[in-house]
Amino acid sequence: MTSDSFAHLTLAFGLLGNAVSFMVFLSPLPTFYKVYKKKSTEGFQSVPYVVGLFSAMLWIYYALLKANAMLLITINSVGCFIQTFYICFFLFYAPKKARIESLKLITMMIVVGFGLIVVLTQFFATGVTRVTIVGWICLVFALCVFIAPLGVLRQVIKTKSVEYMPILLSAALTLNAITWFFYGLLLRDFNIAIPNVLGITFGVLQMILYFVYKNKKPIISDEKVSELKSIETVLEQPKISGKKDQEIIDVVKLSAALVCSIPTVAKINENNEVVDDHMAEKAAAHVPNHTIEVGA
């Protein structure tokens, strides 16, 4: 293969990675549309979006230290803008407690965490050493992000249900990992390539589990069984005559319906989304958050 062909192939994978990553960044939009309609974040969490912003900023810093990673800068710049929009949107509709917790997380990760990385590497490292240190930080952080889907895989096996693991999102994330793996491999940049090996592995496992369990009967947890029994007990209580009694029964039925219909998003992903990141307090003990897939 000639050097020109090699460069064209690298560019092709980089552009494809940009396109797929852009679609993944937009995947939480339905979640935020629900927030807009309800004018409340309810059980949503800002963690996936803050982590996504931190990851994008980290990869931009790494790409700026290198001379041939412009496509990393382009997609992660878009990622920074989109994640910032999500965070601002969340803060606008979040209740006071959730807003304060989000601001604390933003301060810790973006201001303190990223700020220390930049300051320490600028003042205590030079040249190739600086690039190597930042590259290792990106590598370790990306590995941690890619390990997150293990919780989703465990939940699928435990419940025999793929309710919280959409096949289209899993396929998109797998394709995203494949494109960035080959982009990093062609650049001979293993800080980009190695984390995406895990991304490919977990993505393939998710799709395999989806086809294994998609027609299986889900296992209902003990907590949900107890909850359903308690609802049945309330509904079976003697009725008091009058219109008011019927209203009470209607309220109980409505509450039961809401318990079963509150949407949750897996964190790989965010069902991150990102899958992106909405779960009810009752479901939080059974369903892990969605992982945010980084652009590299």
Per-residue pLDDT at 43: 73
Is pLDDT of 262 > 60?
no
Per-residue pLDDT at 92: 92
Per-residue pLDDT at 70: 86
CA distance 182 to 27: 23
Per-residue pLDDT reduced to its tens digit, 65-106: 987 788 899 999 999 999 999 999 999 998 888 899 999 999
Six token digits for residue 137: 């930080």
> Is residue 86 within 8 Å of 32, Cβ to Cβ?
yes
Residues 6+ apart with CB under 8 A from 58: 114, 117, 134, 137, 138, 141
Let me know if 257 is exposed, middle or buried by CB neighbors in 10 A (0-12, 13-18, 19+): exposed
pLDDT band at 229 (very low <50, low <70, confident <90, very high): low
pLDDT band at 226 (very low <50, low <70, confident <90, very high): low
The helix (run of H) or strand (run of E) holding residue 278 is none
Of 165 and 263, the structure prediction assigns the larger pLDDT to: 165
CA distance 19 to 26: 11
CA distance 184 to 138: 13
> Is residue 83 within 8 Å of 52, Cβ to Cβ?
yes
Per-residue pLDDT at 279: 41
Which value, in Å, is the radius of gyration of the alpha carbons in the chain? 22
φ, ψ of residue 274 to 5 degrees: the values are: -5, 125
Distance of CA 136 to the CA centre of its chain: 22
Helix (H, G, I), strand (E, B) or coil at 276: coil
Q: pTM of this prediction?
A: 0.69
CA distance 151 to 159: 12
Task: Report, as an integer, the average pLDDT of 176-187.
Answer: 90
Q: Is 29 left (phi over 0), alpha (psi -120 to 50) or beta?
A: alpha
